[in-house]
Amino acid sequence: MKRILYFLMGFVWVSTTFSCEGEPDLNSGIIPTTDSLLLRFNDTTTLVAFIQKDDTIRTDATERVLLGSYYDPIFGRTTSSFYSTFTAAQSFSSTVNDIDSIVLTLKADGGYGDLSKFTGYQVLEVFEVTEDIPVPPSGGYSSHTTFSYNPIPIGTYGFVPQFFPLGNEPAAIRIKINPSFGSRFFQGDTINSTNVRDFIKGIYVRISPLVTQSQPSGTGGIAYFKLNSDVSHMIIYHGNGQGQIKLPMGTSSNYRINKFYHDYTLFSANLSFLQKLGDSTNTTASDKLYIQGMEGVRVKVKMPYLSNYLDSGKVIVNKAELVIPIDNTQDFALYENPGNILTYTLASDGKIRLMDDIYFVYYDSYYNATTQEYKVVITQYIQQVLNGGDVASEFYIDIPVLSKYTSAFRLVINSPEHATKPLKLNLTYTRIPPSL
């Protein structure tokens, strides 16, 4: 109740008093003792920001998978591959081994990066998994999960990550699989969803390393596929087209696991990016910061002197707004910005903890194309830190959680050291009189 009263009092004082001030003096406090103004505005709070590799993220519970390879001029080479299992659409048994063809269909769902015909070209390879993919453990499978597979591909397919519907059929790619792969289904056994993985444990799909190695900077892309769709499946056609065996990928009992890889080496990534990535103490000045999904990198922000706002007593945070300008020298046509951005803290167990502000109607984190910046409201969070609450005093700026492993967004933003449009915190607060 006291906290609500403080907020109400703060809004009343907004209409009566207002003042601007610089960074709090570490020795004498925030404001001179002779200054009786109650409402304050500050946009020079010290922010210390650096980048770090993202923690391991779960990739087996997603609506879609990512597949592709691209060579980013800043972040270097990035590749994405995936594993998938199958179920049986119905029970079947046959001894007829007259296979016409086998087709693997993947429903397309867009892409990221260079989607043009020539410089975005990809060659996928399909391999047969040779070990069981068990039920996901507690916490699921991560991007680092691996399963053994036969190194001889059962299918290859060249494509550009730009997809269009075909007649009444949705946008998809259709990969021919070696017919010999299907002979195991025609040995007289009864096959159903219970035992189908005794016959096909799964597939592993990747982009040919030859394509990845030959991509020049600024080329390639990442394709998105919805495997949890009825369109995504493998069909074995037999009997002169009269019969077919359908193996869906989209049922709830199937497992889909994405694998991401980023080549953050001197031979791949931009030197300025690598220097910032290696600077965990922010000792090297830089006017740029970097964010990349797919278990890439994120920005960590510290506020070492935030508690100095309390040197002259408690304060009410009327509004705290993080202003995040983007680096406008980027190629936005090739590398689109995410529509919004996320700030969060990490709990003691390392799990992401969303800031309480996200649940309020005033919350905002969307990109403004006119000002070329994001503004994220973190009022509740700053108040909690100043109140000494059970919340980390450092936070992260990142691709939104649900997009980190289902989209290939990357972003370059201005750092707090930027000369004209720095990353900053706009803080409007009310000083509580000692008598209250």
The per-residue pLDDT for range 403-420, each reduced to its tens digit, is 888 999 999 999 999 999
Asked if the structure places residue 264 within a domain, the reply is no
Total domains present in the chain: 2
The CA dihedral of 229, 234, 239, 240, to the nearest 10 degrees, is 80
Asked if the structure places residue 378 within a domain, the reply is yes
Asked if the structure places residue 328 within a domain, the reply is yes
- The H or E element that residue 424 is part of is strand 424-431
Say how far apart CA 319 and CA 302 lie, in whole Å: 19
Inter-CA distances, 362 with 42, 219, 320, 366, 395, Å: 20, 40, 11, 12, 20
Asked if the structure places residue 261 within a domain, the reply is no
Say how far apart CA 271 and CA 267 lie, in whole Å: 9
Examine the fold and report which residue of 230, 254, 278 is the final residue of a domain before the chain moves on.
Answer: 254
- Shared-domain flag, residues 288 and 395: yes
Return the ∠ at Cα 36 (arms to 33 and 37), rounded to 5°: 125
- Of these ranges, 11-25, 178-192, 239-253, 347-361, the one predicted with the greatest mean pLDDT is 347-361
- Shared-domain flag, residues 314 and 386: yes
- Shared-domain flag, residues 230 and 309: no
- Shared-domain flag, residues 243 and 391: no
Domain of 368?
A: 2-55+270-431
What pTM does this model have? 0.87
Q: What is the pLDDT of residues 191-249, one digit of tens each?
A: 888 888 988 999 999 999 999 999 999 999 999 999 999 999 999 998 766 788 899 99
Examine the fold and report which residue of 227, 254, 281 is the final residue of a domain before the chain moves on.
Answer: 254
Per-residue tokens: 118: 């020539």
- Shared-domain flag, residues 244 and 303: no
Reduce the DSSP state of residue 299 to 3 states and report it: strand
- Shared-domain flag, residues 127 and 213: yes
Examine the fold and report which residue of 223, 254, 285 is the final residue of a domain before the chain moves on.
Answer: 254
Q: Are 378 and 357 in contact (CB under 8 A)?
A: yes
- Shared-domain flag, residues 50 and 70: no
Please report the pLDDT score of residue 1 as a whole number: 39
CB contact set of 332 (below 8 Å; sequence gap of 6+): none
Say how far apart CA 429 and CA 385 lie, in whole Å: 14
User: Which alpha helices (H) appear in 122-235, and where do they start and end?
Assistant: 209-214
